[in-house]
């Protein structure tokens, strides 16, 4: 009986592939246009789907007449999902679906459907809580210590209100799928973060066993947390296919629908009161917050206040959930954290200004309230060095003459990111080709590349020798990509299946080398005897000994066991610092620089890891300066479901971004930890604080558009 294989990662200094800067494996496919996304598919005879949505935020369908649509030449199926009597809870809600031979005809048909609505009262905006009435519901209160007493005893008390609006995911590849249902067989090509799990949604709806549903997705064009379920359009496209003789139906949402119903992140508004001693020690936190995540209200874990500085001794937290007639929230990179971070770090920066302290010093002073003081201390020092903080920081508003004011701000974040359940199969063929199969997905995070790197490292092979197969539910189960759980899960399962397979190969080879398998190692494309590197054979020769056989071994990440194994863990920290210039005549904020120092344990591929952080920083610039869902109470609709007024930063709007991956032995030995969420938390807060520092007054509500910046300046001057 061989010993339990050693799955541990090679020590930091001894890795050949892990930790090196590898180009993403699908880079060329994407940059040459060869990559076929599921929205690019066009199987023979494919039909196009179209969707009719409600123009009203709250209404009852009185009657619906599809006869004209059904008669239109080229239409193969019409499906009503909001039958007479259905109560519609938001504008953009699905009413009916159509399939037709061309997209143009499908759209024509959808417009021929006649719907009679009884319009009902609606509420779409939550910022003004006084207008929410009964739609505002208590959503939790927490009292720790004695806040009242702490405020009385404090040297400084700061009060402010802050707001961060609903954002929409705005995935560039819209939600949707190409799907064919033939009898009880389903071919399903969605754009999803959940290749393995998504079949369940379809199976339940069609009453088809999941085993009959083949899901495949090589590439996907952005999800950010919004692409887990099959959604109404998935289920209805399946029905349309069924009703159209089993032909493939392709339906991807148009942009306006995508921005209206395919994902949004909850807002948070808050009145905050904080207290500190003269030396900057925070003594009390009190927040009354409210938010909306759509009709369901809620959507926010207010227990996270005060963010990261969780152990401030006196805390009073109160949260209200507001139900509005808008589509439901979905997860977004680090659910709740960016919002709670924004409000906390803004309030604490205001408090620092109150005690006339550099917020960096104040944050450092209070790190004992956090769960990882040493890590943040190091990261703040590193970020301060990259930002030249001590030289460039000035007291709030003390930014010289002239209309352009420059300022610095900072924030910090944390996330879990331990690996999800993942199973992987590694196969070694006698021709020395190695394949790794798992039903994960690469959202553009570099998952494919990291899986290959882990296998290459394990086998002592170059990355080009590894074939990675993912994005298909016929491969072993691997979790959905949410919560930054993918990288820990797939690297662990890949490591284990590959070590297991290598073990088998050692067993085959050990006879010819006349040493026990545990004395063998795989290094530099050779299988050789430990301590006697000349004794061995090439990997190719070793594989030839398999003859007609192959080696196929499984490996799994089991979250409950992962802490003992140490291949992946959770819990990371990161800090961000922003440097902005504000034109006080126009209220326009320009990014000069954003610095991110981010830990994610063992960094498998620094190149794609940095890209993730760059991307999160840019997303933060969008959230801080440009993007917000704008709803009109009169019409109950989104006013900006487009990419013209749902504004995103362009290439010239982001300033310089400096990313420092916090790669250190002490972080590395915690194993692999997810990265997508933690780096997407602090940027908005850091930018908001930089603007307050520049202009000497808090702009309470992001995005920091000219009208809000100018209004804040006016208040300061008043």
Partner 1 sequence: MSIKQEPEKRKKRKSNFSRRGFLQGVGITSGVLTTGILETQADAQTSAKVSGPGEVPITLTINGKPYKTNVEPRVTLCDALRHRLDLTAAKRVCDRGTCGACTVIMDGKVVYSCTVLAIDAQGRKIETLEGLSQNGRPHPVSQAFTDNDAQQCGYCTPGFVMAAKGFLDKHPNPTYEDVKRGLGGNLCRCGTYVGVRKAVLEAAGKMKGAARNA
Partner 2 sequence: MQAFEYASPSTLHEALALLGSKWGETDILAGGTDQISLMKDYLATPNRVVNIKGIKELGGIHASAAGLRIGATATFDDLANNQAVQKEYPSLHSAVMGITSPQIRNMGTVGGDLCQRPRCWYFRRGFGLLGMQDGKSLIPNGDNRYHAIFGGGPAYFVSASSLGPALVALGAKVKLVSASGSRVVAADKFFIAPQNESTREIALLPNEILTEIEIPAAHGIKNATYEVRQKEALDWPLAAASVALQMSGSSVSKARVVLGHVAPTPWVAEQAEQALAGKSLSADVIDKAADAAVAGAKPLSGNEYKVKLARVAVKRALLEASGKA
Window 527-566: contact mask with partner 2 (x via CB under 8 A): ----------------------------------------
Nearest partner of 700 among 261, 342, 183, judged by Cα: 342
Q: State how far the Cα of 578 lies from the Cα of 567, in Å rounded to an integer.
A: 34
Query: DSSP state, 262?
Result: S
Report residue 554 as tokens: 């499984």
Q: Give least dist CB 697 to partner 2, A.
A: 15
Cβ contact 289:270 at 8 Å: yes
Q: Which is nearer to partner 2, 187 or 653 (CB)?
A: 653
Q: State how far the Cα of 182 lies from the Cα of 177, in Å rounded to an integer.
A: 16
Q: State how far the Cα of 394 lies from the Cα of 398, in Å rounded to an integer.
A: 6
* 445, 478, 492, 498: residue in contact with partner 1 (rule CB under 8 A): 445
Q: Which does 37 bind (CB under 5 to 8 A by kind): partner 2, partner 1, none?
A: partner 1
Q: Which of residues 36-65 bind partner 1 (CB under 8 A)?
A: 36-37, 39-40, 42, 48, 55-56, 59, 62
Contact call for residue 92 and partner 1 (CB under 8 A): no
Nearest partner of 217 among 33, 38, 452, judged by Cα: 38
Binding-site residue total for partner 1 (CB under 8 A)? 72
Window 650-669: contact mask with partner 2 (x via CB under 8 A): xxxx----------------
Q: Give least dist CB 628 to partner 2, A.
A: 11
Q: State how far the Cα of 555 lies from the Cα of 564, in Å rounded to an integer.
A: 16
Q: Which is nearer to partner 2, 15 or 647 (CB)?
A: 647
Q: Note if the bond before 597 is cis, omega within 30 degrees.
A: no
- Please list the residues that pair with 100 across neighbouring strands: 48, 75
Q: Which of residues 614-653 bind partner 2 (CB under 8 A)?
A: 625-626, 630, 632-635, 637, 639-640, 642, 644-645, 647, 649-653
Q: Give least dist CB 699 to partner 2, A.
A: 12
User: Distances in Å between the alpha carbon of 41 and those of 176, 196, 249, 635?
Assistant: 12, 20, 10, 37
Q: Which of residues 101-120 bind partner 1 (CB under 8 A)?
A: 102-104, 108, 111-119
Contact call for residue 651 and partner 1 (CB under 8 A): yes
Kindly indicate which of the ranges 273-281, 395-403, 453-461, 607-615 contains the residues binding partner 1, using the contact rule CB under 8 A: 607-615
- Please list the residues that pair with 333 across neighbouring strands: none
Q: Which of residues 77-136 bind partner 2 (CB under 8 A)?
A: 104, 107-108, 111
- Please list the residues that pair with 61 across neighbouring strands: 117
Q: State how far the Cα of 82 lies from the Cα of 58, in Å rounded to an integer.
A: 13
Q: Which does 440 bind (CB under 5 to 8 A by kind): partner 1, partner 2, none?
A: none
Q: Which is nearer to partner 2, 351 or 712 (CB)?
A: 712
Q: Which of residues 614-643 bind partner 1 (CB under 8 A)?
A: 614-619, 642-643
Nearest partner of 526 among 16, 4, 18, 23, judged by Cα: 16
Contact call for residue 187 and partner 1 (CB under 8 A): no
Q: State how far the Cα of 177 lies from the Cα of 192, in Å rounded to an integer.
A: 9
Q: Which is nearer to partner 2, 558 or 711 (CB)?
A: 711
Contact call for residue 68 and partner 2 (CB under 8 A): no
Q: Which residues contact 230 (CB under 8 A, 6 or more apart)?
A: 177, 190, 198, 201, 202, 205
Q: State how far the Cα of 625 lies from the Cα of 393, in Å rounded to an integer.
A: 21
Contact call for residue 381 and partner 2 (CB under 8 A): no
Cβ contact 504:527 at 8 Å: no
Q: Which does 705 bind (CB under 5 to 8 A by kind): partner 2, partner 1, none?
A: partner 2
Cβ contact 331:301 at 8 Å: no
Cβ contact 463:22 at 8 Å: yes
Q: Which of residues 146-185 bind partner 1 (CB under 8 A)?
A: 170-174
Window 518-547: contact mask with partner 1 (x via CB under 8 A): ------------------------------
Contact call for residue 470 and partner 1 (CB under 8 A): no
Q: State how far the Cα of 643 lies from the Cα of 254, in Å rounded to an integer.
A: 12
- The residue ranges that bind partner 2 (CB under 8 A) are 104, 107-108, 111, 585-588, 625-626, 630, 632-635, 637, 639-640, 642, 644-645, 647, 649-653, 705-707, 710-711
């Amino acid at each position: 009986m061989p010993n339990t294989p050693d799955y541990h990662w090679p020590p930091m200094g001894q890795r050949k592939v892990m930790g090196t800067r590898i180009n993403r494996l699908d880079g060329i496919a994407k940059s040459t246009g060869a990559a076929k996304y599921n929205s690019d598919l066009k199987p023979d005879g494919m039909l196009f789907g179209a969707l009719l949505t409600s123009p009203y935020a709250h209404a009852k369908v009185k009657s619906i007449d599809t006869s004209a649509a059904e008669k239109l030449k080229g239409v193969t199926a019409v499906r009503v999902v909001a039958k007479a009597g259905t109560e519609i809870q938001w504008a953009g809600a699905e009413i009916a679906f159509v399939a037709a031979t061309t997209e143009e005809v499908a759209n024509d048909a959808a417009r021929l459907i006649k719907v009679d609505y009884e319009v009902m009262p609606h509420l779409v905006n939550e910022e003004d809580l006084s207008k929410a009435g009964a739609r505002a519901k208590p959503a939790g209160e927490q009292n720790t210590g004695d806040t009242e007493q702490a405020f009385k005893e404090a040297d400084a008390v700061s009060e402010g209100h802050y707001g961060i609006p609903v954002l929409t995911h705005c995935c560039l590849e819209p939600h949707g799928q190409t799907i064919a249902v033939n009898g009880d067989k389903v071919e399903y090509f969605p754009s999803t973060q959940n290749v393995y799990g998504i079949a369940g949604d379809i199976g339940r709806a069609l009453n088809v066993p999941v085993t009959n549903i083949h899901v495949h997705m090589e590439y996907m064009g952005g999800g950010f947390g919004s692409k887990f379920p099959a959604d109404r359009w998935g289920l209805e496209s399946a029905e349309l296919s069924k009703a159209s003789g089993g032909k493939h139906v392709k339906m991807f949402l148009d942009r306006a629908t995508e921005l209206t119903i395919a994902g949004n992140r909850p807002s948070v508004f808050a009145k905050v009161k904080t207290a500190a001693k003269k030396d900057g020690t925070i003594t009390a936190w009190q927040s009354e917050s409210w938010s909306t995540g759509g009709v369901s209200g809620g959507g926010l874990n207010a227990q996270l206040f005060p963010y990261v500085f969780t152990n401030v001794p006196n805390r009073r937290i109160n949260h209200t959930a507001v139900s509005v007639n808008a589509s439901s929230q979905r997860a977004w990179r680090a659910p709740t954290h960016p919002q709670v971070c924004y409000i906390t770090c803004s309030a604490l920066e205001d408090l620092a200004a109150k005690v006339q302290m550099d917020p960096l010093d104040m944050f450092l002073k209070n790190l004992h309230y956090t769960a990882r003081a040493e890590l943040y201390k190091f990261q703040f020092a590193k970020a301060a060095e990259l930002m030249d903080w001590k030289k460039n920081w000035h007291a709030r508003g003390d930014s010289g003459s002239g209309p352009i004011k420059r300022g610095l701000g900072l924030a910090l974040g944390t996330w879990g990111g331990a690996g999800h359940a993942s199973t992987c199969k590694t196969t070694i063929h006698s021709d020395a080709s190695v394949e790794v199969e798992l039903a994960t997905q690469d959202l553009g995070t570099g998952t494919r590349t990291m899986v290959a790197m882990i296998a290459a490292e394990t086998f002592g092979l170059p990355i080009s020798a590894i074939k990675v197969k993912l994005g298909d539910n016929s491969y072993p189960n691997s979790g959905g990509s949410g919560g930054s759980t993918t990288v820990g899960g797939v690297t662990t399962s890949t490591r284990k299946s590959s070590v297991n397979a290598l073990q088998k190969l050692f067993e085959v080879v050990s006879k010819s080398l006349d040493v026990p398998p545990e004395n063998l190692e795989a290094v530099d494309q050779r299988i050789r005897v430990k301590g006697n590197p000349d004794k061995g054979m090439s990997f190719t020769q070793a594989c030839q000994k398999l003859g007609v056989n192959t080696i196929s071994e499984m490996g799994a990440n089991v979250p409950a066991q992962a802490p003992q194994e140490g291949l992946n863990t959770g819990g990371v920290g990161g800090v961000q610092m922003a440097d902005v210039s504000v034109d006080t005549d126009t209220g326009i904020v320009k990014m000069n620089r954003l610095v991110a120092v981010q830990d994610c344990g063992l960094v498998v591929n620094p190149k794609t890891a940095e890209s993730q952080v760059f991307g999160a920083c840019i997303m933060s610039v969008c959230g801080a300066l440009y993007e917000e869902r704008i709803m009109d109470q009169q019409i109950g609709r989104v006013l900006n479901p487009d990419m013209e007024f749902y504004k995103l930063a362009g290439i010239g709007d982001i300033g310089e971004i400096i990313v420092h991956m916090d790669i250190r032995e002490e972080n590395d030995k915690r194993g692999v930890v997810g990265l997508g969420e933690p780096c997407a938390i602090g940027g908005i807060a850091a930018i908001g604080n930089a603007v307050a520092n520049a202009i000497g007054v808090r702009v309470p509500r992001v995005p920091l558009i000219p009208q809000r910046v100018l209004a804040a300046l006016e208040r300061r001057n008043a």
